[in-house]
């Protein structure tokens, strides 16, 4: 079989650190194995436009592997008109929104990902982002880099998580782990919004209250973390109109997908002080263009921006998990064995998961 992997370039870092498995240099640690099985394995980071290696190699590719961190966007047009032999679209990581899933259904292309490989890494990243925003850390650190010292300028917009209402928009694997990690901070209350309420025992263990009305949920939260998949029902969900329902001065952390939030609406709300901070590592196009508005947006006090490149789910620990999971999915596919159900997004021309099948 011909297998095409679109991964990110690691450069000197990947050469020095072989555990950077998600790079074109280290090839998910599966290159020798695939060669020993007689498969053709092409690896590239060139993914943009019709003349890219990705699009040139796609027509006779059997399996496409990519990651959420440097995704090859498998559009409906490419699936219908170019991916003539494609049988499996495999995400090394979690999140398959870079694939037109409806088109994959039409063409009966299996879509799979390594479910659970990133949940701990992302949940920890969410907590870090919350603390960075709430404690006004970035402007404080920038003072030190600039040889300045103005405690009052930082402390005037620094708060505690204790005593705050903190909510997750989406209470799946990551959302639940975020809630669990917030308990020791002694928040006033933990709340969540999800179309699928948690089992009572789980909610009680977390001490989390379900708020079924989105506007009410947003209006009660001092901090909102977005942990929902990207699909037709969530794309552009957090826009100018919805931001009016947030508590004034709220903080938003988004490590789910950038396109859930409208970029212009977020920047405007932050710059006008409707929200006090926005942090995350996901962008509506990746890599983010140099002129992306989220790179330089600030609140009226000059802080509130906690954006980073997309790396929350690609720590060295996570890379080992998703590389191992990628090999397992491939082994099962080669042998014609059943996949682990939780790893399937699309199979046999239908949605295999409620996460992406839900269109509310």
Task: Tell me the binding residues for NAD(+).
Answer: 173-174, 194, 229-233, 255, 281, 310-313, 355
CA–CA distance, 34 with 249 (Å, rounded to integer): 52
What helix, strand, coil percent values describe the chain, rounded to 5? 40, 20, 45
Selecting among 176, 276, 286, 343, the annotated active-site residue is 286
Q: Annotated catalytic, 257?
A: yes
Q: Annotated catalytic, 274?
A: no
Selecting among 70, 177, 257, 321, the annotated active-site residue is 257
Residue 224: phi, psi to the nearest 5? -120, 130
* Torsion sign over Cα 322, 327, 328, 332: positive
Q: Annotated catalytic, 216?
A: no
The residue whose two tokens read 């620990």 is: 317
C-alpha atoms less than 13 angstroms from C-alpha of 32 in its C-beta half-sphere: 2
Task: Tell me the binding residues for substrate.
Answer: 94, 118
Closest CA to 123 of 171, 163, 162, 82: 171
Closest CA to 266 of 287, 234, 242: 242
Return all residues near 332 (Cβ < 8 A) that are at least 6 apart.
338, 339, 340
Selecting among 26, 70, 98, 118, the annotated active-site residue is 118
Q: Are 64 and 89 within 8 A, CB to CB?
A: yes
Q: Annotated catalytic, 263?
A: no
Question: Which strands form 275-280's sheet, in the order they lie side by side?
Answer: 208-210, 189-193, 165-169, 223-226, 250-254, 275-280, 305-307
The residues that are catalytic are 118, 257, 286, 310
């Amino acid at each position: 079989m011909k297998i095409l992997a679109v991964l990110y370039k690691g450069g000197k870092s990947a050469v020095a650190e072989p555990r950077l498995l998600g790079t074109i240099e280290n090839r998910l640690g599966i290159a020798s194995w695939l060669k020993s099985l007689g498969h053709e394995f092409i690896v590239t980071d060139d993914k943009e436009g019709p003349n890219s290696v990705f699009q040139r190699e796609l027509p006779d590719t059997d399996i496409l592997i990519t990651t959420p961190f440097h995704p090859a966007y498998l559009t409906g047009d490419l699936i219908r008109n170019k991916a003539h032999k494609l049988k499996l679209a495999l995400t090394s990581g979690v999140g398959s929104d870079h694939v037109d899933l409806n088109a994959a259904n039409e063409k009966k292309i299996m879509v799979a990902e390594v479910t659970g490989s990133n949940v701990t890494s992302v949940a920890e990243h969410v907590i870090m982002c919350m603390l960075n925003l709430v404690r006004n850390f970035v402007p404080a650190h920038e003072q030190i880099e600039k040889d300045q010292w103005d405690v009052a300028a930082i402390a005037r917009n620094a708060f505690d998580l204790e005593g705050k209402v903190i909510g997750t928009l989406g209470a799946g694997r990551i959302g639940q782990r975020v809630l669990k990690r917030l308990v020791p901070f002694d928040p006033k209350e933990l709340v969540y919004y999800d179309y699928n309420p948690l089992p009572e025992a789980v909610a009680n263990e977390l001490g989390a209250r379900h708020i079924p009305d989105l506007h009410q949920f947003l209006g009660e939260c001092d901090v909102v973390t977005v942990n929902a998949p990207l699909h037709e029902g969530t794309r552009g969900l957090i826009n100018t109109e919805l931001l009016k329902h947030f508590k004034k001065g709220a903080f938003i952390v988004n490590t789910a997908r950038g396109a859930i939030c409208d970029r212009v609406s977020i920047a405007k709300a932050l710059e006008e002080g409707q929200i006090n901070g926005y942090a995350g590592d996901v962008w509506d196009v990746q890599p983010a263009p140099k002129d992306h508005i989220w790179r330089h947006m600030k609140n009226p006090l000059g802080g509130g921006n906690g954006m980073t490149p997309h790396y929350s789910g690609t720590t060295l620990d996570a890379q080992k998990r998703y590389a191992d999971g990628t090999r397992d999915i491939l082994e099962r596919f080669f042998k014609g064995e059943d996949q682990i159900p939780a790893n399937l997004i699309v199979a046999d021309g239908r949605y295999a998961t409620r996460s992406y099948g839900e269109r509310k």
